[in-house]
Amino acid sequence: MAEQIQKKPVKIVETVLRDAHQSLIATRMTTEEMLPIVDKMDKIGYHAVECWGGATFDACLRFLKEDPWVRLRKLREGFKNTKLQMLFRGQNILGYRHYADDVVEYFVQKSIANGMDIIRIFDALNDMRNLQCAVDATNKEKKASGRGHAQIAVCYTLGDAYTTEYYVDIAKRIENMGADSICIKDMAGLLTPYAATELVGAIKSAVKIPIDLHTHYTSGVASMTYLKAVEAGCDIIDTAMSPFALGTSQPATEVMVETFRGTPYDTGYDQQKLAEIADYFRPIRDKYLANGRLNPKVLGVDIKTLLYQVPGGMLSNLVSQLKEQKAEDKYYEVLAEVPRVRKDFGEPPLVTPSSQIVGTQSVLNVIMGERYKLVTKEAKDILAGKYGQTVKPFNKEVQKKCIGDTEPITCRPADLLEPELDKIEKEMAQWKQQDEDVLSYALFPQVAVEFFKYRQSQQEGVDVTAGKDGAYPV
- Positions touching Mn ion (CB under 5 A) are 19
CB of 195 to Mn ion, least distance (A): 18
Residue number, 55 or 278, with CB nearest to Mn ion: 55
CB of 249 to Mn ion, least distance (A): 8
Q: How would you label 154-191 residue by residue, b for 16+ Cβ within 10 Å and e otherwise? A: bbbbbbeebeeeebbebbeebbebebbbbbbbbbbbbb
120 phi/psi in degrees, rounded to 5? -90, 115
> Helix H segments across 27-122?
31-42, 56-59, 68-78, 101-113
* Separation between Cα atoms, residue 369 and residue 161, nearest integer Å: 31
Q: How far apart are the first and last CA of the chain?
A: 68
* Separation between Cα atoms, residue 50 and residue 238, nearest integer Å: 9
Name the amino acid, one letter, at 297: K
How many CB atoms neighbour CB 330 within 10 A? 17
* Separation between Cα atoms, residue 215 and residue 237, nearest integer Å: 8
CB of 65 to Mn ion, least distance (A): 25
CB of 113 to Mn ion, least distance (A): 26
CB of 250 to Mn ion, least distance (A): 7
Question: How many angstroms from the chain centroid is the CA of residue 290?
Answer: 26
CB of 237 to Mn ion, least distance (A): 12
CB-facing half-sphere around the CA of 116: CA atoms within 13 A: 28
Residue number, 71 or 120, with CB nearest to Mn ion: 120
CB of 472 to Mn ion, least distance (A): 33
Residue number, 19 or 378, with CB nearest to Mn ion: 19
Residue number, 212 or 437, with CB nearest to Mn ion: 212
Name the amino acid, one letter, at 466: A
CB of 187 to Mn ion, least distance (A): 5
Strands 48-53 and 149-155: unpaired
* Separation between Cα atoms, residue 121 and residue 152, nearest integer Å: 5
Residue number, 19 or 437, with CB nearest to Mn ion: 19
Residue number, 351 or 421, with CB nearest to Mn ion: 351
Angle formed by the axes of helices 193-206 and 164-176, nearest 10°: 40
Residue number, 246 or 366, with CB nearest to Mn ion: 246
* Separation between Cα atoms, residue 273 and residue 287, nearest integer Å: 23
Instruction: Provide CB contacts within 8 A for 317, sequence distance 6+.
Output: 26, 356, 359
CB of 351 to Mn ion, least distance (A): 8
CB of 87 to Mn ion, least distance (A): 8
Residue number, 13 or 257, with CB nearest to Mn ion: 13
Residue number, 19 or 101, with CB nearest to Mn ion: 19
Residue number, 153 or 448, with CB nearest to Mn ion: 153
* Separation between Cα atoms, residue 29 and residue 39, nearest integer Å: 17
Residue nearest to Mn ion (CB): 19
Q: Which whole-number Å values give the CA distances from 65 to 59, 70, 92, 403, 416, in the listed order?
A: 8, 11, 22, 37, 34
